[in-house]
C-alpha cells in the first residue's frame, strides 16, 4: 500500500529545491514566497472501465513563485506503455471529465511548453510514473490531471482532482 503523505512531502520538498536555483541564501529568500501544494487520488473513469482498467494512484502539484511541478504515481495500466497525461482546467466531475487542457497562455499552442504534460510511462508490471516541471506558476484553474488512452486520446481513462 502506498503512503500518500511521505510521497506528497518528498515531491513537495524536491520540487521546491528544483524550482529555487541559486545559493542557500537565495533559496531561503525564495522559500518565503507562496508555496501551494495540491494533491489527490486517481479514479478510473467510464472510458477506462469500459476498456477493463482498474486504475489507482495519486498525484501532487506544487506551485511556487518560480514555477509548477506535477508528479503522478499510477497502478493498473498496461505494462511497458506510455500514456498521455495532461493537467486539465476543470474537476473530474465536469463533462467531459477534467474539462479541457490547462494552458499557460489560453488559446496558445497545444504543446508541452504551454500545457503541463506529466506523461506516464509504465514498467513491466503496469506501474507508472509521470512528472512535469514548468517555469510558470499554474493558475487556480489547473484543477485536475487526466490520463488518456494512448491508442485513442479522446478516451479518458483516469482522473485526479488536485485539491
CA distances from 77 to 10, 33, 51, 124, 144 (A): 24, 37, 11, 10, 19
123-138 pLDDT per residue, tens: 999 999 999 999 999 9
pLDDT digits (tens, 9 = 90+) for 77-103: 999 999 999 999 999 999 999 999 999
Which residue reads 501544494 in cell numbers? Answer: 37
Could you read off the pLDDT of 6-62 as tens digits, one per residue? 554 545 444 444 444 443 334 444 445 789 999 999 999 999 999 999 999 999 999
Q: Are 36 and 16 contacting, i.e. CB atoms less than 8 angstroms apart?
A: no
**Paired residues of 122 in beta bridges:** 128
Domain ranges of the chain: 4-161
Q: Beta strands 67-75 and 85-88: pairing type? A: unpaired
**Which of 29, 11, 9 lies closest to 20, judged by CA?**
29
Question: Any idea which of 13-17, 107-111, 142-146 has the lowest mean pLDDT?
Answer: 13-17
Pick the CATH number of 4-161 from 2.60.40.200, 2.160.10.10, 3.40.50.1820, 3.40.50.2300: 2.60.40.200
62: its cell numbers: 506544487
HEC letters along 11-37: HHHHHHHHHCCCCHHHHHHHHCCCCEE
Amino acid at each position: 500500500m502506498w503512503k500518500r503523505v511521505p510521497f506528497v512531502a518528498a515531491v513537495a520538498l524536491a520540487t521546491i529545491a528544483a524550482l529555487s536555483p541559486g545559493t542557500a541564501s537565495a533559496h531561503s529568500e525564495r522559500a518565503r514566497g507562496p508555496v501551494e501544494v495540491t494533491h489527490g487520488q486517481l479514479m478510473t473513469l467510464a472510458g477506462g472501465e469500459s476498456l477493463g482498467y482498474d486504475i489507482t494512484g495519486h498525484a501532487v502539484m506544487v506551485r511556487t513563485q518560480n514555477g509548477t511541478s506535477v508528479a503522478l504515481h499510477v497502478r493498473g495500466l498496461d505494462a511497458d506503455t506510455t500514456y498521455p497525461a495532461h493537467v486539465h482546467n476543470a474537476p473530474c466531475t465536469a463533462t467531459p471529465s477534467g474539462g479541457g487542457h490547462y494552458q499557460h497562455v489560453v488559446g496558445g499552442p497545444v504543446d508541452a511548453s504551454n500545457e503541463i504534460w506529466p506523461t506516464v510511462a509504465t514498467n513491466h508490471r503496469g506501474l507508472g510514473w509521470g512528472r512535469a516541471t514548468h517555469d510558470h506558476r499554474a493558475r487556480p484553474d489547473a484543477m485536475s490531471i487526466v490520463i488518456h488512452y494512448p491508442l485513442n486520446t479522446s478516451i479518458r481513462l483516469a482522473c485526479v482532482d488536485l485539491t
